[in-house]
């Protein structure tokens, strides 16, 4: 339906309604299309008047639709009126109306009115993150940074994940402002990014840079750069952190992997107790390995080649002097078949240790176990992103540890462009995460806003250093 | 109270509007018919003639004036709201906002609603209740229609009262029941056992358990009706388990008269291990033929969250043979998980037992899951597969081997 351009008389509305096929939802459909066409609210008002005259009442959802229209057009007095009407009519409202009211008011001079409404919304349910976002932005826009940070902390305490937009707004609104306390708060946000392994996008990065450079008397300078493979920053020559876990973290992670990934709810799902025990004794006897290879994964790299041939190539290019290799596979690889030639398999077993799991067992958990058991220097080779195994871990902290460890220890193989040989993308020598030494900050950032894969790691960095 | 008011007003409106429209009546007649409830509207209408400027905020006055009535009504209500009442109120608001919320909700359901851990869980639960309510309503309506038709038909037949001559008494359903029970009793002595493994209760949510039991009830009934029923065993079924409670809900007194074997023992204790075959979609082995000497086990589990390998793990633990239906061999799989419902499994197994015809048996796989049967015979398929393989490796295979032998000579 096309909404009218001018307010209509009751009979004109009646005529429109009669022409509409389902009269019961006429108002809603009409208001929806008004929101879509950004029709002036006077037209909507005339519709409401008509409805009120016919029914003596207006349904709640119609009122909310009208409220949405007012919010869209920033009609503050109208929003306040709506609040009065709704409050008069209903004891409590539902979350949709609350967030509309909050959004509408926090964008206006009456932004303080949004705060009691936020309080009210808390009574029935945890407010949405956009509601918090509106209030925080309003508060920091009006230099009420203390209030803004209070709301931010409350949001975190409630387990509501802040949008990157809110975090960015803190940096935008604090630009040029003085105060050690404020500085600490913003550093706190950067550490929040670090702990949760969140990478800011390009515009957010720019806000961070501008804020640093605007701190009065701070003498901060920011540069965009990319870090060398060695982990050294080309701007300040600072060596970035490596992804090694502390002793405690390392033990914690190994324990969790055994408990959650290998055993899980039922050891028989992925392997069997006998098999796992056999594998453990196998590994203990031959420790430590330098590189653990997921045999089946590597064998599928080039689909045109025989699978054992692919594996053979990989083993050959990784086998060097004094490098101890472990290849994990399944028993079917030992059966002489079109893809698995016995001679080649024999040949390979001279160069590396092999463990063959049952055909119905999963080999990835073994891969993780063997690598972790071998120690911090040990790397593993697979193209798998290991997302399903990460998902088995029971808490976010361990998942973050797992990601960090994975970044530093996974070698990714891919066929080279001309297809002759294999490419090995070495594991990172440094950890890709927001980091600081006090007088420097290094912040990795994403080029595009939407890069949603957790395994993708940005290559671009913001280097910030303080010249004293 | 409020909703009752609204209903009244709506009724008024719907009865007046078409009338006015039909007779081409103008607005001046319109408010007159509603003088009793809406005096303030009348006043405004009189003051606002079509030619005058519209009073755009008139609706606000209506809304605010309605408010005073409300207030006087709501005063005697107690001020403090218990958690339940608050939840009820939230629900009411959601309903007014046009979300999918049931009209009536019991205390128990309300508690379930409050225990939902997140907002989305709450929404899902309410939608489920809403749809349930809707289906119930539709069913009720259909029942009433049917009853009316039946009454009509009866009236007509009573007019033409004329008993048809027939050598049989009209006793169909009870006679059929007797016949079915006779067969089921026979199957309990001579029939091939079919085991349902009831050990998955802790893997499932309450809703999944109740779905499982529904499917089992369907399976049991289709088994009873078949020409040569299985001897059904419910193994690992503990008394007072959720399964048991749900069964009692469905069967009531009939539960003790069912011609099946129910035991809390494991099937490994009841049957020799080497005869057992665990049917699971995760099995690496594919069933080729139906073996009349084997005892097939079906896991009584509905897993909406697709927990892979649960029943395979069970079979592994007990060291049992496993098998999967040859779905890929006979069907061009389209979409959906390969695990089938228990009643579908029952139909398939029954058909296999009677006919040994895979095509006929796999008709019971839901049509949405496959796009058709594999037409070619197995031999032809094998030939084309071989062809693909020779194209892929073919001559090259020998070449590769030679190259290998050259570049990596044996020590």
pLDDT tens digits, residue range B93-134?
A: 888 888 888 988 888 888 888 888 888 888 899 999 999 999
CB neighbour list of residue B216: distance below 8 Å, 6 or more residues apart:
B196, B234, B247, B300, B342
Minimum distance, in Å, between the CA of residue A70 and any CA atom of chain B:
14
Q: Which residues contact A73 (CB under 8 A, 6 or more apart)?
A: A38, A40, A41
Contact A61 B97 (CB under 8 A): yes
Instruction: Give the residue from B32, B57, B64, B93 with the most A CB atoms within 10 Å of its CB, the best one to mutate.
Output: B93
Q: Using CB atoms, which residue from A52, A91, A96 is nearest to B63?
A: A52
Nearest by CB: A124 against B90, B317, B400? B90
Per the CB < 8 Å rule, is A360 touching B316? yes
A88 touches chain B (CB under 8 A): yes
- The string of DSSP codes covering B337-405 is -S---HHHHHHHHHHHHHH--HHHHGGGS-GGGEEEE--S-HHHHHHHHHHHHHHHTHHHHHHHHHHHH
**8 Å CB contact of B60 and A81:** yes
Q: Are A183 and A435 in contact, with CB atoms under 8 Å apart?
A: no
pLDDT of residue B173: 84
Please write the tens of the pLDDT for every residue from A234-292: 888 888 888 888 889 989 998 888 888 888 888 888 888 889 899 999 999 988 899 99
Span B140-154, mean pLDDT? 93
- B340-355 pLDDT per residue, tens: 999 999 999 999 999 8
Cβ-based contacts of B17 with chain A (< 8 Å): 14, 54
Q: How far is A389 from chain B (nearest CA, A)?
A: 14
* A163-241+428-467 fold: 1.25.40
Q: When comparing pLDDT for B76 and A109, which is higher?
A: A109
Whether A275 contacts chain B with CB within 8 A: no
Best of A94, A95, A158, A362 to mutate (most B CBs within 10 Å, chain B): A94
Q: How confident is the model at residue B44 (pLDDT cuts 50, 70, 90)?
A: very low
Which residues of chain B does A51 touch, with a Cβ-Cβ cutoff of 8 Å? Answer: 59
Q: What is the pLDDT of residue B321?
A: 92
Q: State the average pLDDT over residues B250-255.
A: 90
Q: Give the up-direction half-sphere exposure of residue A292: CA atoms within 13 A in the CB hemisphere.
A: 28
* N-terminal to C-terminal alpha carbon distance within chain A: 66
Instruction: Examine the pLDDT at A180 and tell me if it is beyond 90.
Output: no
Least confident of A89-98, A282-291, A403-412, B155-164: B155-164
Higher per-residue pLDDT: A82 or B4: A82
- Determine the residue among B56, B385, B390 to mutate to test chain A binding: the one whose Cβ has the most chain A Cβ atoms within 10 Å: B56
Greater model confidence, B72 or B321: B321
Domains of chain B: 90-153 (no CATH), 191-373 (3.40.1280.30)
B-facing residues of A in 294-333 (CB < 8 A) are: 304, 306, 309, 312
Distance CA B192, CA B339 (A): 23
pLDDT bin (cut points 50, 70, 90) of residue A171 is very high
Q: Does the pLDDT of residue B243 top 60, yes or no?
A: yes
pLDDT(A214) > 50? yes
**A266 close to B (CB below 8 A):** yes
- For the packed helices A41-55 and B58-74, what is the interaxial angle rounded to 10 degrees? 50
Classified as helix, coil or strand, B197 is: strand
CA A242 – CA A202 distance, rounded (Å)? 24
Q: Is A64 on the interface with B (CB under 8 A)?
A: yes
Which of A:98-137 have CB within 8 Å of B? 124-126
Residue B322: closest C-alpha in chain A: A360
Residue B313 CB coordination number (10 Å): 23
Which residue in A61, A85, A268 is closest to B60 by CB distance? A85
How high is the pLDDT of residue B163? 61
Cβ distance A90 to B404 less than 8 Å, yes or no, reads no
- Which chain A residues are Cβ-neighbours of B63 within 8 angstroms? 52, 57-58, 85, 88-89
- A3 DSSP 8-state letter: P
Contact call for A53 and B60, based on CB within 8 A = no
Q: C-alpha distances in angstroms, A394 versus A260, A370, B115? A: 7, 21, 22
pTM for the structure as a whole: 0.76
Point out the residue among A18, A92, A266 whose CB comes nearest to the CB of B90. A92
Query: Band of the pLDDT at A67, cuts 50, 70, 90?
Result: very high
Q: Which residues of A touch B392 (CB under 8 A)?
A: 304
What is the reported pLDDT for B79?
47
Interface probe for A, chosen from B33, B96, B315 (most Cβ of A below 10 Å), is B96
In the predicted model, is pLDDT for residue B333 greater than 70?
yes
User: What are the distances in angstroms from CA B170 to CA B151, B153, B166, B179, B271?
Assistant: 20, 18, 9, 15, 43
Beta-carbon separation of A85 and B408 below 8 A: no
| The predicted structure's pLDDT at residue B4 | 52
| Cα within 13 Å of Cα(A100), Cβ side | 24
Subunit contact B62:A56, Cβ cutoff 8 A:
yes
Q: Taking CB atoms and an 8 Å limit, are A350 and B404 in contact across chains?
A: no
CATH number of A247-414: 3.40.50.11980
Nearest-10 crossing angle of helices A247-256, A396-409: 110
Cβ contact, residue pair B37, A56, below 8 Å: yes
Q: What residue of A is the nearest CA neighbor of B90?
A: A94
Q: Which two tokens stand for residue B108?
A: 């128990």
CA–CA–CA angle B296, B301, B303 (5° rounding)? 135
Phi, psi of B270 (to 5 degrees): -90, -40
- In tens, the pLDDT along B155-174 reads 887 766 556 667 777 777 88
* Same fold yes or no, A163-241+428-467 and A247-414: no
CA Rg, chain B, in Å? 33
> What's the DSSP call for residue A257?
I
Chain A residues inside the 8 Å CB shell of B38: 56
Nearest Cα of chain A lies from the Cα of B277 at a distance, in angstroms, of: 17
Are A287 and A373 in contact, with CB atoms under 8 Å apart? yes
Task: Give the number of A-B residue pairs with CB atoms closer than 8 Å.
Answer: 145
- Average per-residue pLDDT for chain B: 78
Look at residue B196 and tell me whether its pLDDT is greater than 90: yes
Q: For chain A, give every domain's residue range.
A: 163-241+428-467, 247-414
pLDDT at A124: 81
How distant is the Cα of B310 from the closest Cα of chain A, in angstroms?
6
């Amino acid at each position: 339906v096309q909404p009218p351009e001018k307010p209509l008389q009751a009979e004109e509305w009646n005529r429109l309604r009669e022409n509409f096929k389902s009269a019961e939802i006429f108002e809603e459909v009409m208001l929806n299309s008004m929101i879509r066409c950004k029709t002036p609210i006077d037209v909507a008002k005339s519709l409401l008047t008509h409805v009120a005259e016919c029914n003596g009442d207006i349904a709640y959802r119609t009122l909310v639709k009208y409220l949405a229209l007012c919010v869209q057009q920033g009609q503050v007095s109208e929003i306040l009126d709506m609040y009065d009407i709704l409050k008069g009519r209903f004891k409590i409202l539902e979350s949709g109306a609350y967030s509309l009211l909050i959004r509408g008011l926090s964008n206006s001079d009456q932004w303080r009115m949004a705060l009691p409404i936020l309080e009210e919304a808390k009574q029935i349910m945890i407010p949405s993150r956009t509601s918090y976002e509106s209030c925080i932005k309003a508060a920091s826009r009006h230099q009420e940074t203390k209030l803004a940070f209070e709301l931010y902390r409350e949001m975190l305490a409630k387990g509501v994940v802040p949008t990157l937009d809110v975090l960015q707004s803190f940096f935008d609104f604090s630009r040029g402002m003085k105060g050690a306390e404020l500085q600490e708060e913003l550093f706190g946000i950067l550490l929040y990014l670090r702990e949760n392994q969140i990478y800011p996008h390009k515009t957010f990065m720019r806000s961070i840079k501008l804020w640093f450079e605007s701190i009065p008397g701070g003498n901060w300078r920011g540069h965009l750069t990319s870090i060398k493979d060695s982990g050294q920053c080309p701007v300040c020559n600072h060596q970035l952190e490596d992804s090694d876990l502390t002793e405690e973290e390392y033990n914690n992670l190994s324990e969790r992997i055994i408990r959650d990934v290998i055993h899980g709810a039922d050891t028989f799902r992925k392997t069997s107790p006998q098999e796992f025990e056999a594998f453990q004794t196998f590994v203990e006897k031959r420790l430590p390995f330098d590189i653990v290879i997921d045999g089946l994964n590597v064998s599928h790299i080039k689909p045109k080649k025989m699978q054992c041939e692919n594996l053979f190539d990989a083993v050959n290019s990784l086998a060097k002097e004094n490098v101890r290799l472990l290849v994990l596979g399944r028993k079917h690889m030992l059966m002489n078949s079109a893809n698995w030639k016995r001679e080649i398999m024999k040949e390979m077993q001279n160069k590396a240790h092999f463990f063959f799991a049952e055909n119905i067992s999963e080999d990835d958990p073994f891969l993780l176990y063997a690598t972790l058991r071998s120690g911090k220097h040990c790397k593993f080779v697979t193209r798998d992103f290991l997302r399903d195994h990460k998902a088995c871990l029971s808490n976010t902290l361990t998942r973050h540890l797992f990601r960090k460890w994975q970044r530093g220890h996974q070698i990714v193989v891919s066929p080279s462009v001309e297809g002759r040989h294999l490419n090995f993308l070495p594991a990172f020598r440094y950890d890709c995460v927001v980091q600081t030494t006090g007088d420097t900050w290094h912040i990795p950032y994403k080029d595009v806003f939407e890069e949603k894969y957790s395994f993708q790691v940005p290559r671009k960095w913001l280097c910030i250093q303080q010249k004293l | 109270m409020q909703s009752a008011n609204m209903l009244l007003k709506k009724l008024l409106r719907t009865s007046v509007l078409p009338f006015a429209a039909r007779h081409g009546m103008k607005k001046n007649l319109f408010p007159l018919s509603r003088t009793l409830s809406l005096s303030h509207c009348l006043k405004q209408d009189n003051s606002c003639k079509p030619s005058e400027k519209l009073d755009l905020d008139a609706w606000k006055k209506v809304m605010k004036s309605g408010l005073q009535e409300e207030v006087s009504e709501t005063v005697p209500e107690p001020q403090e709201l218990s958690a339940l009442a608050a939840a009820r109120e939230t629900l009411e608001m959601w309903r007014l906002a046009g979300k999918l919320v049931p009209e009536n909700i019991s205390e128990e359901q309300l508690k379930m609603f409050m225990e939902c851990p997140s907002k989305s869980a709450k929404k899902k639960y309410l939608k489920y209740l809403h749809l349930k309510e809707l289906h119930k309503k539709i069913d009720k309506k259909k029942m009433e229609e049917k009853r009316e038709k039946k009454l009509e038909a009866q009236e007509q037949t009573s007019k033409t009262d004329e008993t048809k001559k027939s050598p049989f008494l009209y006793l169909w359903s009870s006679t059929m029941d007797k016949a079915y029970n006779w067969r089921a009793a026979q199957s309990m002595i001579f029939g091939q056992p079919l085991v349902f493994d009831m050990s998955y209760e802790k893997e499932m949510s309450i809703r999944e358990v109740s779905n499982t039991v529904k499917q089992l009830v369907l399976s049991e009934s289709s088994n009873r009706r078949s020409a040569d029923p299985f001897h059904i065993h419910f193994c690992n079924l503990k008394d007072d388990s959720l399964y048991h409670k749900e069964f009692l809900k469905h069967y009531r007194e009939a539960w003790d008269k069912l011609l099946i074997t129910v035991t809390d023992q494991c099937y490994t204790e009841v049957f020799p291990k080497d005869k057992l075959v665990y049917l699971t979609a995760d099995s690496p082995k594919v069933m080729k033929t139906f073996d009349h000497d084997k005892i097939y086990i079906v896991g009584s589990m509905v897993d909406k969250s697709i927990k892979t390998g649960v029943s395979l793990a069970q079979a592994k633990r007990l060291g049992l043979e496993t098998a999967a239906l040859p779905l890929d061999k006979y069907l061009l799989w389209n979409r959906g998980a390969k695990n089938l419902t228990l009643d579908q499994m029952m139909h398939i197994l029954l058909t296999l037992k009677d006919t040994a015809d895979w095509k006929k048996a796999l008709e019971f796989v839901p049509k949405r899951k496959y796009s058709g049967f594999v037409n070619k015979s197995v031999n032809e398929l094998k030939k084309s597969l071989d062809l693909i393989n020779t194209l892929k490796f073919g001559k090259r295979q020998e070449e590769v081997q030679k190259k290998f032998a050259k570049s990596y000579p044996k020590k």
